[in-house]
């Protein structure tokens, strides 16, 4: 039997990890116990995120459930779904996801691996001490952002994006060193944000997809029937896992409400302002992420606006 | 352990050569440590600047956390050779302290050779990593998109200086053990 | 599995006792383990990636800052003021100035999130002064090693943040939960130090001069003012929302520079010496951390902690027996592993066990912080031992003997918490 070591940076209780464990069990089933996946969650092997693409390529591990936005240092195209407000709703997101997949497969092959399925994180919003319901509410708000997309986006909206590591966020939020955090609902639950914040506006301004990736040498070492079985399993489970992301968003949001956080969504005017603020970043992404990325965005926008 | 000061040992031809090499190695380690000290000062000023920017101007410098990490890596490895030379890297002296002079020298030689191997493996590992960062133009996945080859090169440089210091130790242990016949801590006061 | 464990322990004992530098030795053991038991793996790739992640990650950035703060303060007159100021107040307490280590570490733990930084900074300030005043070096070092561990238990604490995220408990509640056990443990250390001083009066210098008078207490308060103001300044910067816990390190360095400038102790030369000194201490601690983390990662790849904690879960024990066994398990792991790794690698299995046995996850968090603290002072891999060895030059063997009583106190204290869990849970439940 073959055993793959598969790593994910998320903690055991996270829904991506639950999906991964489910997938591991089913792989064992469909291959009659010939392929086992040993899941290492919570970064217990010292691998934390941005190096997972290369770690799978080099065969340090046989696979990883990784966040694509963390891999853009090696492969800029993988950031396409995270370009702010490029997708406005679930239909947009589904369209871009399916159009991006062939391009992802190309990047994967280039890095000696194979992507099996992709599951997005719930969309990102803003946790804050005071309500954020219109663009003016963002003015001067010291908001913790993670990446260049978020920093440029909220800068364009008049906020003051602040960078700091996740470990500093909670004490900083508690003491008022920052006024808000841009992240998803499950992360708000992970950090018990009801201790520090009163409001969560679900802007859905950014998508952050995870993929499960397997080293190509490990993959090719399997028999043809095993590969076919695993591939069809991945295709069958992907919609279930993607649904679990929505369910996770709903249950995390419900928990936030239960703990006293007021949850809101942007109205039409706010949404239009978000779209406008994001335009320069669409351009910047198309210019900097390579010709494939440019072609993909062009095709997506045409298909979306048809 | 003999407490004979170095200065009273009449230098032979070989001794003189070893001394010159050791002196050169020390200068190199000292220069790397000076870089480490500068990195340390920069790290402090960067964090202070971030605090000032956020509290006075409601702005984040953006790069301060990331660059601080690189600077810390540089401090640790660029300072390593000089720290070793000053006897400030930690080792367990239990056997070394209780062994006779010959045994002590033999053990010390073995320990130093093992360290040479380990640091050699680290150099090998970081050479590959640094080379790939350069060849593939790898940048950090953060806002700064910082070219990773530079901080990795700094670490590699520190590792090489550390290895040179270790190799010189092997040389001294084999050819001129008298140069080591005193507590290494005293070296700190000599230049 | 037993072959792996024997190779692991054999290699560690061999390399470390031969006098291989600790950081290099641990990394070497990790490399050997993986080369032997994971022959297909590109070990050098994992090595460079692990080292890179460890030294450039944000978790360690506070360490060099607090070390630099200690190096600067060491070159000011603050140390002398601290001791002169404390002297009359502890004059009637058995153990007298030996308590400065414990009091200093307790105070410093409130501004620093890590035990290594606490031990290095306080030790740099107190060690030479205590010895100069005629206190027994071993006794002083034991107290420092023990109390230095408080850095993780008294908030802020880097390990508590990691635990909070992994175990899904409020980090704020974790911080609050650490306060009472932290202060109680400090009190236990002081009681022991006092008792020890009464039994072995020769370990203290003879008393000089008359008992302090009222005016001595007043003057002492003035001498303590700079230290209290400095710590208040750093804590205030965090509570007031001006700095995050790591940034507080930079505030600390800034405060130390102000103290030095006011006392006219800082020349360009002393500043440069402080920087060079801090770079060397950082290098020393950093390399040990690198080695320890790589060894932990190697053990993770070989599933060692997971296998053992899985075996424990199969035993089906009563709650108290489970905690007792876990305590033994974690103490053994802690002899060779680094604190953060201990928690990350075992938590997925031990946390559900403990919760099923009826313990509160916040309580278990404090339990884990305590075992991580113990790991700091157990040989062969104990960070506080290495740090104090670096500061004082006392051998590891001497330090192990000196710190043993403090280790025993911590074990008994942890068992006490298992019998009376309310010591941990009362305050967070009341405030939450
Ligand atoms: Na602390
Ligand atoms: Na230990």
Note the ligand closest to the C-alpha atom of C403: 2
Residue A60 forms contact with C (CB below 8 Å): yes
Look at B140 and A140 and tell me if their CB atoms are within 8 Å.
Answer: no
**Would B171 be classed as within a structural domain?**
yes
Return the pLDDT at C364. Answer: 95
Count other Cβ atoms within 10 Å, centred on residue B167: 17
**Would B102 be classed as within a structural domain?**
yes
Return the pLDDT at B182. Answer: 40
**Would B30 be classed as within a structural domain?**
yes
Mean pLDDT computed over every residue of chain A: 92
Beta bridge partners of A35: A2
Local confidence pLDDT in tens for the 432 residues of chain C:
788 888 888 888 888 888 899 889 989 999 999 999 988 889 999 999 999 998 998 888 888 998 898 889 888 888 778 878 887 888 888 888 888 889 888 888 887 777 888 898 888 888 888 888 888 888 889 989 999 889 889 887 778 877 887 787 877 788 889 999 999 999 999 999 999 888 888 878 877 777 788 888 888 888 888 888 988 888 888 888 899 888 988 999 999 999 999 988 889 999 999 999 999 989 988 898 888 889 888 888 988 877 877 888 788 788 888 999 999 989 988 887 777 777 877 787 788 788 888 889 999 999 999 999 999 899 888 888 988 988 888 888 899 999 999 999 999 999 999 999 999 988 888 765
Residue C38's φ and ψ, nearest 5 degrees, are -130, 60
**Would B7 be classed as within a structural domain?**
no
CA–CA separation, B129 vs C44, rounded Å? 9
Residue-range definition of the domain harbouring residue B34: 13-88+95-190
Mean pLDDT score, A32-36:
94
Query: Hunting for tokens 């720290």 — which residue is that?
Result: B83
Tell me if B83 sits within 8 A of C284, measured CB to CB. yes
Residue C57 forms contact with A (CB below 8 Å): yes
Nearest in space to C58 (alpha carbons), one of C231, C244, C236, C279 = C244
Nearest in space to B32 (alpha carbons), one of B86, B75, B62 = B75
| pTM over cut 0.80 | yes
| Stretch 4-43 of chain B: residues touching chain C, C-beta under 8 Å | 33-34, 36-41, 43
Tell me if B142 sits within 8 A of B148, measured CB to CB. no
Domain ranges of chain C: 7-202+211-431
Note the ligand closest to the C-alpha atom of C105: 1
Q: How many CA atoms lie within 13 A of C179 on its CB side?
A: 9
Report pLDDT digits (tens) over C132-183.
888 888 888 998 999 988 988 988 777 887 788 778 787 778 888 999 999 9
- Radius of gyration of chain C, Cα coordinates, nearest whole angstrom: 22
**Would B6 be classed as within a structural domain?**
no
Look at C49 and A46 and tell me if their CB atoms are within 8 Å.
Answer: yes
pLDDT along chain B (191 residues), means of 10: 43 79 93 97 96 90 91 97 90 79 89 96 96 90 85 97 95 80 40 30
CA–CA separation, C106 vs C102, rounded Å? 6
Distance from CA of C420 to the nearest CA of A (A): 27
Look at C250 and B118 and tell me if their CB atoms are within 8 Å.
Answer: no
* H or E element, residue A5: strand A2-7
Show the tokens assigned to A241.
Answer: 């896992």
How remote is the CA of residue C300 from the centroid of ligand 1, in Å? 27
Neighbours of ion ligand 1 (CB under 5 A): C 109, 151, 154, 157
- Domains in chain B, number: 1
């Amino acid at each position: 039997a073959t055993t793959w070591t598969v790593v994910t940076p998320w903690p055991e209780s996270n829904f991506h990890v639950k999906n991964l464990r489910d997938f591991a069990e089913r792989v064992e089933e469909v291959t009659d116990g010939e392929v086992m996946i040993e899941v290492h969650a919570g970064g217990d092997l010292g691998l934390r995120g941005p190096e997972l693409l290369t770690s799978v390529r080099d065969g340090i591990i046989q696979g990883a459930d990784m966040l694509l936005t963390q891999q853009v240092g090696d492969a800029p195209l993988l950031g396409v779904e995270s370009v702010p407000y490029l997708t406005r709703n679930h239909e947009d997101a589904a369209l871009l996801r399916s159009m991006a997949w062939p391009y992802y497969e190309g990047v994967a092959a280039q890095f000696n691996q194979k992507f099996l399925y992709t599951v997005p994180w719930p969309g990102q919003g803003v946790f804050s001490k005071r309500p954020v319901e219109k663009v003016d509410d963002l003015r001067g708000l010291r908001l913790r952002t993670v990446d260049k997309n978020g920093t440029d986006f909220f800068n364009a909206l008049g906020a003051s994006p602040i960078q700091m590591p996740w470990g500093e966020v909670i004490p900083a939020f508690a003491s008022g060193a920052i006024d808000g955090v841009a992240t998803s609902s499950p992360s708000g639950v992970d950090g018990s944000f009801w201790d520090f914040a009163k409001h969560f506006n679900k802007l859905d301004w950014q998508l952050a997809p995870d993929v499960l990736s397997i080293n190509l040498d490990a993959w090719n070492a399997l028999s043809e029937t095993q590969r076919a079985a695993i591939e069809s399993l991945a295709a069958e489970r992907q919609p279930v896992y993607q649904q679990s992301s929505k369910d996770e968003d709903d249950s995390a949001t419900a928990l936030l409400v239960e703990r006293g956080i007021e949850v809101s969504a942007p109205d039409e005017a706010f949404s239009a302002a978000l779209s406008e603020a994001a335009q320069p970043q669409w351009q910047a992404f198309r210019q900097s992420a390579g010709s494939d990325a440019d072609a993909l965005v062009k095709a997506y926008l045409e298909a979306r606006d048809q | 352990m003999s407490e004979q000061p170095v200065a009273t040992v009449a230098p032979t031809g070989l001794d003189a050569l070893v001394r010159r090499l050791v002196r050169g190695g020390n200068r190199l380690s000292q220069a790397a440590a000076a870089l480490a000290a500068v990195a340390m000062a920069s790290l402090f000023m960067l964090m202070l600047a971030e605090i000032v920017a956020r509290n006075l101007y409601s702005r984040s410098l953006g790069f301060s956390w990331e660059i601080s990490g690189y600077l810390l890596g540089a401090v640790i490895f660029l300072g390593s050779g000089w720290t070793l030379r000053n006897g400030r890297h930690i080792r367990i002296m239990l056997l070394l302290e209780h062994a006779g002079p010959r045994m002590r020298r033999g053990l010390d030689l073995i320990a130093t050779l093992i360290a040479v191997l380990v640091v050699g493996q680290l150099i090998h590992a970081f050479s590959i990593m640094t080379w790939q960062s350069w060849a593939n133009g790898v940048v950090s996945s953060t806002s700064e998109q910082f070219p990773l080859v530079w901080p990795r090169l700094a670490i590699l440089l520190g590792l090489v200086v550390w290895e040179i210091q270790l190799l010189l130790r092997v040389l001294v242990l084999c050819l001129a053990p008298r140069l080591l016949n005193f507590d290494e801590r005293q070296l700190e006061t000599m230049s | 599995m037993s072959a792996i464990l024997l190779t692991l322990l054999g290699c560690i004992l061999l390399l470390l006792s031969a006098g291989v530098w600790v950081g290099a030795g641990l990394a070497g053991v990790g490399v050997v383990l993986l080369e032997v038991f994971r022959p297909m793996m590109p070990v050098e790739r994992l090595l460079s990636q692990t080292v890179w992640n460890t030294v450039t990650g944000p978790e360690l950035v506070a360490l060099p800052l607090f070390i630099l703060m200690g190096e600067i303060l060491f070159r000011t007159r603050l140390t002398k003021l601290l001791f002169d100021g404390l002297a009359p107040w502890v004059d009637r307490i058995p153990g007298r100035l030996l308590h400065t280590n414990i009091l200093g570490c307790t105070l410093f733990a409130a501004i620093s999130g890590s035990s290594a930084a606490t031990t290095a900074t306080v030790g740099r300030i107190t060690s030479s002064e205590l010895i100069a005043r005629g206190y027994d070096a071993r006794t002083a070092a034991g107290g420092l090693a023990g109390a230095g561990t408080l850095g993780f238990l008294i908030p802020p604490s880097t390990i508590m943040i990691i635990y909070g995220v992994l175990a899904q408990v409020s980090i704020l509640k974790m911080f609050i939960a650490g306060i009472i056990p932290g202060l109680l443990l400090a009190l236990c250390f002081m009681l022991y130090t006092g008792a020890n001083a009464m039994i072995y009066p020769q370990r203290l210098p003879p008393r000089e001069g008359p008992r302090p008078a009222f005016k001595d207490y007043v003057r002492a308060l003035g001498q303590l003012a700079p230290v209290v103001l400095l710590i208040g300044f750093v804590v205030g910067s965090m509570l007031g929302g001006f700095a995050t816990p790591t940034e507080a390190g930079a505030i600390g360095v800034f405060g130390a520079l102000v103290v030095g400038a006011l006392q006219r102790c800082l020349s360009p030369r002393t500043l440069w010496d402080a920087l060079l000194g801090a770079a060397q201490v950082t290098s020393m601690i950093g390399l040990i951390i690198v080695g320890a983390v790589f060894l932990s990662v190697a053990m993770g790849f070989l599933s060692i902690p997971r296998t053992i904690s899985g075996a424990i879960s199969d035993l089906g024990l009563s709650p108290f027996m489970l905690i007792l066994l876990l305590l033994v398990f974690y103490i053994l792991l802690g002899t060779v592993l680094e604190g953060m790794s201990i928690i990350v690698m075992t938590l997925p299995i031990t946390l559900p066990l403990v919760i099923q046995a009826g313990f509160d996850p916040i309580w278990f968090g404090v339990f884990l912080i305590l075992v991580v603290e113990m790991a700091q002072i157990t040989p062969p891999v104990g960070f506080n031992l290495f740090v104090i060895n670096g500061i004082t030059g006392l051998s590891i063997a001497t330090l192990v003997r000196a710190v043993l009583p403090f280790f025993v106190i911590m074990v008994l204290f942890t068992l006490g918490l298992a019998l009376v869990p309310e010591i941990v849970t009362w305050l967070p439940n009341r405030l939450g």
